[in-house]
Amino acid sequence: DVKVTQSSRYLVKRTGEKVFLECVQDMDHENMFWYRQDPGLGLRLIYFSYDVKMKEKGDIPEGYSVSREKKERFSLILESASTNQTSMYLCASSKEKGLASYEQYFGPGTRLTVT
């Protein structure tokens, strides 16, 4: 079974703090993704990566950065947390076949609260 783990289920941070969300997958998948999920808005893609040290902006990259130094690990960084970044953050991975997507495997999510 593919396993995608996220470093924390719940996280509370203060405005202005730098926040790191870690995601690790154990199936040697090429692609990894970060989404945020808000009520009524569904999942919105923040960043994705299709290879080590590669990253692509999604729909809402502002205020976020990512790092992929190893194939199995994809980190989301909030440079200076703000209250409007309070959300559920979901990490996912998938194997690659050209540019067509395979099914994505999701982690359990991190519910981040910024106060």
Q: Which residues bind another protein (CB under 8 A)?
A: 4, 31, 33, 35, 40-45, 48, 50, 56, 58-59, 88, 90, 92, 96, 99-109, 111
Q: Please check whether residue 64 is in contact with residue 72, taking contact to mean a CB–CB distance below 8 angstroms.
A: no
φ and ψ of 84, to 5 deg: -75, 0
Nearer CB in complex with another protein: 71/111: 111
Residue type, 59: D
Nearer CB in complex with another protein: 18/52: 52
Nearer CB in complex with another protein: 4/81: 4
Q: Where are the beta strands (DSSP E) in the chain?
A: 4-6, 10-13, 19-25, 31-38, 42-49, 56-57, 64-70, 73-78, 87-94, 96-97, 100-101, 105-106, 110-114
Q: In this structure, how many other beta carbons lie within 10 angstroms of the beta carbon of residue 63? A: 14
Least separation in angstroms between CB 44 and another protein: 7
Least separation in angstroms between CB 80 and another protein: 25
Least separation in angstroms between CB 67 and another protein: 18
Nearer CB in complex with another protein: 46/114: 46
Least separation in angstroms between CB 16 and another protein: 27
Please give the structure tokens belonging to residue 67: 């790092």
